[in-house]
């Protein structure tokens, strides 16, 4: 994956998580606090470094709340903040980044692990807000930078050779025990709780597969336009190796020539919570002409990566 593609993918993942955090606090503008929380959930080196230093999502939230409370108290202000909204109906469609975060995203260079790059920029942010938040945690900035440096110096993981199947992947951190995450993603009755393409509880078919339909609205509340033939889906559980792997196959009964999708969910324990890696594979059901296949390959590759990121984010949100 190119540096630009990796940067765009991580930026989108952080935006989904950051906007969700802002909406949780009834805000339409996401700022440094929301970006820092989003980084604790990221699957890249930035998120790994924060968690390796003992700094996870709820710890960051507590430090942020204490920082704001102390500032208000110093001004003689006592105010009750609205309770966070953790309901699935919370909307993020109108969320955007604050000008200082947007400037940060635009000013840092593209990199193969953008979460580490943006974390370093957050640490150097001139207002000193993030440094003040970190001072309320057990993670010293010097130690965090040491962990980042060590992670950056490590050799990249080996990648399997190509198989001809188009794939996209995304990693994230889920704030729940591995058993709870596995129970969610392996249960066909709960597909609608985490799969972005599923809009209602699945119903079992005679052949043991599960039939579902696409949602009419997106997570942001806007109506969705679903292409003819893909509204109905057939889900088949291919693997359920408890508690580390779940593999689903998705086909479209009204569009038999459509590609078959495999959704691979790999789980690993991480400090009492879960490291999740999502892989989306597209398997061709009919042969395409070589020229057409080459033309459509970038679009399909983008769609698989987008599907992996959306699925990883949805599973994270299920345990918010």
pLDDT of residue 162: 46
Residue 189 DSSP label: G
The domain that holds 301 is classified in CATH as 3.30.530.20
Q: Kindly give the parts of the chain with pLDDT less than 70.
A: 1, 79-80, 88-93, 155-164, 219-221, 286-300
Q: Which two tokens stand for residue 88?
A: 């699935």
Shared domain check, 248 and 273: yes
Q: Could you write out the DSSP letters of every residue in 25-44?
A: TT-SEE-HHHHHHHHHHBSS
Q: What is the pLDDT of residues 58-73, one digit of tens each?
A: 899 999 999 998 888 8
In a domain, 293, yes or no: yes
Q: Give me the CATH number covering residue 120.
A: 1.10.1780.10
The number of folded domains in the chain is: 2
What torsion, rounded to 10 degrees, do the Cα atoms 81, 84, 89, 93 define? 70
Give the pLDDT score at 74.
84
Contact 314, 170 (CB under 8 A): no
Sequence-ordered strand ranges (E) for 35-148: 96-97
Provide the pLDDT for residue 244.
95
pLDDT value of position 223: 78
Half-sphere exposure of 281 (CA within 13 A, CB side): 14
Position 219 scores a pLDDT of: 64
* Claim to verify: residue 177 and residue 295 sit in the same structural domain: yes
Residues 139 and 248 in one domain: no
Phi/psi-derived region of residue 242, left when phi > 0, alpha when psi is between -120 and 50, beta in every other case: beta
Residue 200 lies in a domain: yes
Alpha-carbon distance of 264 to 279, in angstroms, equals 5
171 and 312 co-located in one domain: yes
Query: Is there a single domain that holds both residue 134 and residue 244?
Result: no
Looking at the structure, tell me whether residues 147 and 217 fall in a common domain.
Answer: no
Q: How far is CA 274 from the centre of its chain?
A: 13
Q: What is the pLDDT of residue 225?
A: 81
Which conformational region is residue 164 in: left (phi greater than 0), alpha (psi within -120 to 50 degrees), or beta? Answer: left
Tell me the per-residue pLDDT of 271-290, one tens digit each, with 9 for 90 and over: 889 999 999 998 877 655 55
**Domain membership of residue 254 as a residue range:** 166-318
In degrees rounded to 5, what are phi and psi of residue 157? -65, 145
Together in a domain, 133 and 78: yes
Q: Whole-angstrom Cα distance, residue 49 to residue 44?
A: 9
For residues 147 and 182, membership in a common domain is answered with no
Whether residue 159 is contained in a domain is answered as no
The torsion region of residue 229 among left (phi > 0), alpha (psi -120 to 50) and beta comes to left
Output the CA–CA distances (angstroms, integers) from residue 15 to 5, 95, 242, 303, in the order listed.
Answer: 15, 9, 31, 18
- Alpha-carbon gap, residue 294 to 298, rounded angstroms: 8
First-to-final CA distance of the chain: 30
DSSP state of 201: -
Q: Does 179 share its domain with 272?
A: yes
* 3 state DSSP class of 261: strand
**Separation of CA 235 from chain center:** 22
- Residue 75: inside a domain, yes or no? yes
Residues 39 and 53: their CA atoms lie apart, in Å, by: 13
């Amino acid at each position: 994956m190119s540096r630009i593609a990796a940067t765009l993918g991580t930026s989108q993942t952080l935006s989904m998580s950051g906007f969700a955090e802002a909406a949780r606090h009834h805000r339409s503008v996401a700022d440094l606090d929301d970006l820092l929380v989003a980084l604790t959930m990221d699957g890249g080196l930035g998120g790994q470094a924060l968690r390796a230093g003992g700094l996870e999502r709820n710890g960051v939230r507590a430090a942020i709340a204490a920082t704001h409370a102390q500032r208000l108290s110093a001004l003689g202000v006592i105010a009750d903040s609205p309770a966070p909204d953790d309901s699935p109906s919370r909307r993020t469609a109108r969320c955007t980044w604050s000008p200082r975060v947007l400037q940060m995203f635009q000013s840092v260079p593209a990199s193969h692990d953008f979460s580490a790059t943006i974390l370093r920029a957050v640490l150097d942010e001139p207002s000193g807000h993030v440094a003040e938040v970190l001072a309320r945690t057990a993670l010293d900035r010097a130690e965090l930078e040491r962990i980042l440096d060590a992670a950056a110096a490590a050799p990249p993981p080996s990648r399997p050779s190509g198989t001809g199947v188009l794939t996209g992947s995304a990693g994230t951190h889920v704030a729940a025990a591995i058993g709870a995450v596995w129970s969610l993603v392996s249960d066909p009755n709960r597909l609608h709780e985490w799969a972005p393409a599923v809009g209602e509880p699945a119903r079992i078919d005679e052949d043991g597969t599960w039939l579902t339909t696409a949602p009419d609205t997106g997570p942001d509340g806007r109506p969705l336009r679903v292409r003819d033939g893909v509204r109905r889906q057939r889900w088949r559980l291919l693997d359920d190796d408890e508690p580390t792997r779940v593999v689903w196959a998705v086909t479209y009964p009204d569009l038999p020539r459509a590609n078959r999708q495999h959704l691979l969910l790999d789980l690993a324990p991480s400090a009492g919570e879960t490291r999740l890696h999502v892989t989306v594979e597209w398997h061709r059901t009919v042969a395409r002409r070589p020229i057409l296949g080459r033309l459509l390959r970038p679009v399909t590759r983008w769609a698989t990566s987008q599907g992996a990121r959306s699925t990883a984010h949805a599973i994270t949100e299920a345990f918010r």
